[in-house]
Structure 1
Amino acid sequence: MSQDETVRIHESSYVDDGVEIGEGTAIWHFCHLLTGTRLGQRCKVGQNVTLGPRVTVGTNVKIQNNVSVYEGVTLEDDVFVGPSVVFTNVFTPRSAFPRNTSDAFLPTLVQQGASIGANATIVCGSTVGRHALIGAGSVVTRDVPDHAIVYGNPARLKGWACECGVPLDFQSEAATCGDCLREYMKEDQVVKRAETNALLRRTA
């Protein structure tokens, strides 16, 4: 295990050899970090969480209670994972035909700033886009676009969210967050920050 003196690990948790933990990270009760797992700086890992083996978690990630992040799942920076979220890594599981090798796992990617609500299920092979919001109890069976708000079973597109998490109201191709005033443009099903407008404001 590689770690810094600022790392806090509760005495009831287990950290295997070959695990890397970034500075300022806190790991609470009854957790298990398996070999090959890399956990970034300033992460908060709630109780009864399993990570790994060979899982990569970015910086400033918050993983709430009762979550297992299995091999094949990657969480980028600033991701929030709510309580009891489920990640799968095998698409066609059978007890009689074990598929527990790395080449049998379908990769799942949760990109920067995305949030996943409590009790949601993320079916393997999916990518959750940057700053997306997954509603509590949803079942994600396909890729989720950047900034999308999705919920339901299966999860379907219901709207769009600002980087800060506030829903956006697109009356046309443009929207401004009512909270942080970030500006966005939407073309078809693609939402992006209006970086040019923000730059003009700062230099005006």
Structure 2
Amino acid sequence: VQTSRPCGRWVVGVFQGRLIRSGALLCSGVHIGADSIIGHNTIIRARANIGTKSVISHLVCLERDANIGNNVRISALTHITGNCFVGDNVQIGARVVTINDNEMRWRAGEILRAPKVLSGARIGSGVTLLGHVTIGENAFIGAGSVVTRNIPEGTLAYGNPAYVQGDRPMGEWLAGASRQLYQSKEEI
């Protein structure tokens, strides 16, 4: 679905394989990939891009020019700031906040630097990502963390401020996905 009209409420329904729940607000230039779901009362600002097979839960706000990859899950009450990049196969927990400016001010004219969450990363519930940080591929951020610096790929980080605590726990991450995969194969 590609929108070309000003912001407005959409009626619940399925549009070309995309499910848009009641109360969702989509602004102009929004692109939603095939087989994606937009939750109740979610706001998607101008020119945001959502890849295929992604789930944006209820009461989420995607600001202008946010770029969300394929197979992404963003849980309820999360705020994705303008120009934020979220790679493929990322999971973002509930009440996550991303910030594209580290100072308390109103648009001083500079280009703001939003966080980047690279492919395969997992962000726990209640995390705050400050502007300019990059979360590396397959990194894991523990719930309630405040991320003030880049987190390398394949690591586990948590705390306030978040520090790398070790390598991500591979077995635990894949357990749920594997179980789901095997269930699907058994049903065939």
TM-score relative to the length of structure 2: 0.81
- Give, in angstroms, the shift of residue 165 of structure 1: 4.9
Q: CA distance change for structure 1 residues 66 and 100 in 2, over 3 Å: closer, same or farther?
A: farther
The equivalent of 2:34 in structure 1 is: 23
The equivalent of 2:6 in structure 1 is: none
Name the SS of the counterpart of 1:42 in structure 2: coil
- Give, in angstroms, the shift of residue 6 of structure 1: 0.6
Task: Give, in whole Å, the separation in 2 of the partners of 1:148 and 1:132.
Answer: 5
- Give, in angstroms, the shift of residue 104 of structure 1: 3.3
Residues 115-168 of structure 1, C-alpha deviations (whole Å, 9 max, x = no match): 00000111111000000000000010000000110111111111112556549x
Residues 7-64 of structure 1, C-alpha deviations (whole Å, 9 max, x = no match): 0001211111211000000011110111110000000111100112011000000000
Do the aligned partners of 1:91 and 1:106 also contact (CA within 8 Å) in 2?
no
Which aligned pairs between 1:187-202 and structure 2 lie closer than 5 A?
none
Q: Which amino acid aligns with 2:107?
A: R
Q: CA distance change for structure 1 residues 49 and 164 in 2, over 3 Å: closer, same or farther?
A: farther
2:132 paired residue among 125, 130, 134:
125
CA RMSD of aligned residues (A): 2.1
- Give, in angstroms, the shift of residue 106 of structure 1: 1.4
Number of residue pairs the alignment of both structures matches: 165
Aligned: 1:40 with 2:48: no
Name the SS of the counterpart of 1:159 in structure 2: strand
Task: Give, in whole Å, the separation in 2 of the partners of 1:162 and 1:136.
Answer: 15
Aligned: 1:86 with 2:93: no
- Give, in angstroms, the shift of residue 81 of structure 1: 0.6
Aligned: 1:145 with 2:152: yes
Residues 47-101 of structure 1, C-alpha deviations (whole Å, 9 max, x = no match): 100112011000000000001111131000011110000101111122xxx2275
Aligned: 1:63 with 2:63: no
